[in-house]
């Protein structure tokens, strides 16, 4: 099956960091369908060869086994072409149409990795140039909008130009092997499902911590912040995967229907929960490992009195029969103590203690998402090797550990590689439907509004820590603590 993949933003950051490496890995492993062409689109006046050289320079900085050798790169480069386009000029789409018609590939993927402000223009112009036929698929990167109204406006334009089954809205967290494992854990095994409910679960904690700061994306991040960048999409998708009902099958809409129901069941915000259950923070100068790092306000492209949050912790509930009353805590931030994404499912403790056992150390399932993925089941066992008389009544914390690297090897299909292959195959399971996205915006919008009127601004936290202390205080009010504090 031949394909043309048109990459709008072909010289941009995402193409450079994620998409080209993913396409190359797929090419190298023989999973990229044969007969492909990748057309990078940008404003520069580059020849095909100059574009190939530009992409090659990206791979020159890659170290280790992921770096292509010269012969491999030459074969990959033969798929690459470049087309100069001004995305507001209809004539440039006509030229693109001529390039695509000439080859008449079986499928055409339009990957829109541009600034979000250009999404609607690109969709409208593609449709006007007749580039929205049934063999076309369009891929839209996040963030899709800035709030509910802008998200709806984009989705309305997209709907006018394409059918929903042609639209692939990317949330790259859904492409991570560890997130697919989460679906496998819940719906491929019968063991946990009977326990997966309010009667047995005390609380759930979702943490996506990054040790990096905003790097060179200060100007973008200033208008985005952690709530829009991570919570509205990645964290809520994880919450859906934990909270959803089993879908009736593994088809895209069956899965997306169930995720949508979770988003619709999130407890609406009140003035009280907005002030008590949402904490925002911003990093100040501190450390990353052993190196000193600047505060957010000193980063390139960031205003010295910026009010943008680089950290969010919040508490919510899914108001349905399965979950009523169970707190779901979400926490994400930049420049935290490490790169660590995990979900903790804290089951209830035994109703009546008959042993001498540490409190809170067990009855816990930890789903590790990154940097390594795996499962830890924390239990209590009879303490061994202690000859004192009282030891026969003492329990010690132990853990059953499943490390997916050890089990399956560390060579995994990366998130973008997986998602790009799914687009080429027309598989929508790991992509977000417009109604899910709108519902997620509807839920975060009261937080955005609340912050607009909250003069206190984000709470400072020192780079290299776990965020402002108010985040621990919030969860402590329920009698719990974050996983690293237990």
Report the interface residues with ligand BG6, using CB under 6 A. 210, 229
Q: Name which of 210 and 317 has its Cβ closer to ligand BG6.
A: 210
Q: Could you tell me which residues are beta bridge partners of residue 279? A: 313
Q: Name which of 327 and 458 has its Cβ closer to ligand BG6.
A: 458
Q: What is the DSSP letter of 350?
A: P
Task: Pull the structure tokens for residue 270.
Answer: 């009140």
DSSP assignment of 77-92: HTTEEEEE--TT-HHH
Task: Write down the catalytic residue from 234, 277, 342, 378.
Answer: 234
Taking each helix axis as running N to C, give the angle between helix 415-425 and helix 20-28, from 0 to 180 degrees, rounded to the nearest 10: 70
Q: What is the DSSP letter of 137?
A: E
* Nearest position to ligand BG6, beta carbon: 229
Tell me if 280 sits within 8 A of 452, measured CB to CB: no
- The neighbour count for residue 390, using CB atoms within 10 Å, is 8
Q: Name which of 218 and 247 has its Cβ closer to ligand BG6.
A: 218
How far is the C-alpha of 275 from the C-alpha of 95, rounded, in Å?
A: 54
Q: Could you tell me which residues are beta bridge partners of residue 41? A: 8, 83
Task: Consult the annotation and say whether 4 binds a ligand.
Answer: no
Task: Consult the annotation and say whether 222 binds a ligand.
Answer: no
Q: What's the closest the beta carbon of residue 137 comes to ligand BG6, in angstroms?
A: 21
Q: What's the closest the beta carbon of residue 175 comes to ligand BG6, in angstroms?
A: 9
CA 380, 381, 385, 391 torsion: positive or negative? positive
Q: What's the closest the beta carbon of residue 352 comes to ligand BG6, in angstroms?
A: 42
Q: What's the closest the beta carbon of residue 210 comes to ligand BG6, in angstroms?
A: 6
Q: What's the closest the beta carbon of residue 215 comes to ligand BG6, in angstroms?
A: 8
What lies within 8 Å, CB to CB, of 361 at 6+ separation is: 378, 380, 397, 486
Task: Consult the annotation and say whether 342 binds a ligand.
Answer: no
Q: What is the DSSP letter of 386?
A: -
Q: What is the DSSP letter of 370?
A: E
Tell me if 258 sits within 8 A of 236, measured CB to CB: no
Q: Name which of 203 and 332 has its Cβ closer to ligand BG6.
A: 332
Q: What's the closest the beta carbon of residue 221 comes to ligand BG6, in angstroms?
A: 7
Task: Pull the structure tokens for residue 474.
Answer: 């919030």
Task: Consult the annotation and say whether 197 binds a ligand.
Answer: no
How far is the C-alpha of 335 from the C-alpha of 218, rounded, in Å?
A: 14
Of 329, 304, 335, 334, give the one whose Cα is nearest residue 316: 329
Task: Consult the annotation and say whether 305 binds a ligand.
Answer: no
Of 275, 370, 301, give the one whose Cα is nearest residue 332: 370
Task: Consult the annotation and say whether 87 binds a ligand.
Answer: yes
Task: Consult the annotation and say whether 267 binds a ligand.
Answer: no
Q: What's the closest the beta carbon of residue 229 comes to ligand BG6, in angstroms?
A: 5
Q: What's the closest the beta carbon of residue 312 comes to ligand BG6, in angstroms?
A: 13
* Residue 348 designated active-site: no
Q: Name which of 81 and 210 has its Cβ closer to ligand BG6.
A: 210
How far is the C-alpha of 281 from the C-alpha of 212, rounded, in Å?
A: 15
How far is the C-alpha of 316 from the C-alpha of 330, rounded, in Å?
A: 8
Q: Name which of 116 and 327 has its Cβ closer to ligand BG6.
A: 116
Tell me if 298 sits within 8 A of 285, measured CB to CB: yes
Strand 340-347 versus strand 201-209 pairing type = antiparallel
How far is the C-alpha of 62 from the C-alpha of 16, rounded, in Å?
A: 11
Task: Consult the annotation and say whether 200 binds a ligand.
Answer: no
Q: Could you tell me which residues are beta bridge partners of residue 281? A: 311, 459
Q: Name which of 151 and 265 has its Cβ closer to ligand BG6.
A: 151
Q: Name which of 12 and 36 has its Cβ closer to ligand BG6.
A: 12
Task: Consult the annotation and say whether 334 binds a ligand.
Answer: yes
- Collapse the DSSP code of 481 into the 3-class scheme (helix H, G, I; strand E, B; otherwise coil) and give the result: coil
Q: Which residues are known to be catalytic?
A: 234
Q: Tell me the binding residues.
A: 43, 86-87, 142, 172, 176, 210, 229, 334
Q: What residues form the annotated binding site for substrate?
A: 172, 176, 210, 229, 334
Annotated binding-site residue numbers for NADP(+):
43, 86-87, 142
């Amino acid at each position: 099956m031949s394909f043309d993949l048109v990459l709008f933003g072909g010289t941009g950051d995402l193409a450079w960091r994620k998409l080209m490496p993913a396409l190359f890995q797929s090419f190298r492993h023989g999973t990229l369908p044969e007969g492909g062409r990748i057309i990078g689109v940008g404003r520069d006046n580059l020849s095909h060869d100059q574009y190939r050289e530009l992409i090659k320079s990206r791979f020159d900085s890659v170290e280790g086994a992921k770096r292509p050798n010269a012969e491999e790169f030459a074969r990959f480069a033969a798929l690459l072409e470049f087309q100069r386009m001004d995305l507001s000029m209809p004539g440039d789409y006509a030229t693109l149409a001529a390039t695509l018609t000439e080859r008449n590939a079986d499928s055409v993927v339009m990957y829109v990795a541009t600034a979000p402000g250009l999404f609607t223009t690109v969709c409208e112009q593609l449709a006007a140039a007749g580039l929205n036929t049934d063999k076309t698929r369009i891929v839209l990167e996040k963030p899709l909008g800035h709030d509910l109204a802008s998200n709806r406006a984009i989705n309305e334009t997209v709907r006018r130009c394409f059918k929903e089954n042609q639209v692939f809205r990317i949330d790259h967290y859904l492409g991570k092997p560890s997130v697919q494992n989460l679906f496998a854990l819940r719906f491929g095994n019968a063991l946990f499902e009977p326990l997966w409910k309010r009667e047995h679960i005390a609380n759930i904690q979702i943490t996506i911590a990054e040790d990096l700061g905003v790097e060179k994306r200060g100007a973008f991040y200033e208008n985005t912040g952690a709530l829009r960048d991570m919570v509205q999409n990645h964290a809520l998708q994880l919450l859906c995967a934990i909270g959803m009902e089993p879908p009736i099958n593994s088809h895209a809409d069956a899965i997306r229907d169930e995720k949508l129901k979770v988003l619709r069941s999130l407890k609406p915000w009140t003035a009280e929960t907005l002030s008590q259950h949402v904490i925002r923070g911003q990093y100040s100068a501190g450390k990353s490992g052993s190196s000193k790092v600047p505060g957010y306000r000193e980063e390139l492209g960031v205003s010295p009195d910026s009010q943008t949050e680089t950290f969010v912790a919040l508490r919510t509930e899914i108001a349905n029969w399965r979950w009523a009353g169970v707190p779901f805590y979400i926490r994400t931030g930049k420049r935290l103590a490490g790169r660590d994404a995990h979900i903790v499912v804290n089951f209830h403790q035994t109703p009546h203690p008959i042993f001498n056992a540490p409190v809170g150390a067990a009855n816990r399932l930890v789903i590790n998402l990154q940097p390594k993925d795996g499962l830890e089941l924390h239990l209590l066992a009879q303490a061994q090797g202690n000859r004192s008389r009282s030891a026969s009544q003492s329990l010690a914390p132990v853990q059953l550990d499943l490390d997916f690297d050890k089990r399956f090897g560390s060579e995994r299909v990366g998130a973008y590689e997986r998602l790009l292959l799914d687009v080429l195959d027309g598989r929508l399971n790991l992509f977000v439907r417009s109604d899910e996205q709108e519902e997620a915006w509807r839920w975060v919008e009261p937080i955005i509004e609340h912050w607009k009127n909250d003069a206190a601004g984000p709470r400072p936290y020192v780079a290299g820590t776990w965020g402002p202390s108010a985040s621990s205080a919030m969860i402590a009010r329920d009698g719990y603590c974050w996983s690293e504090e237990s």
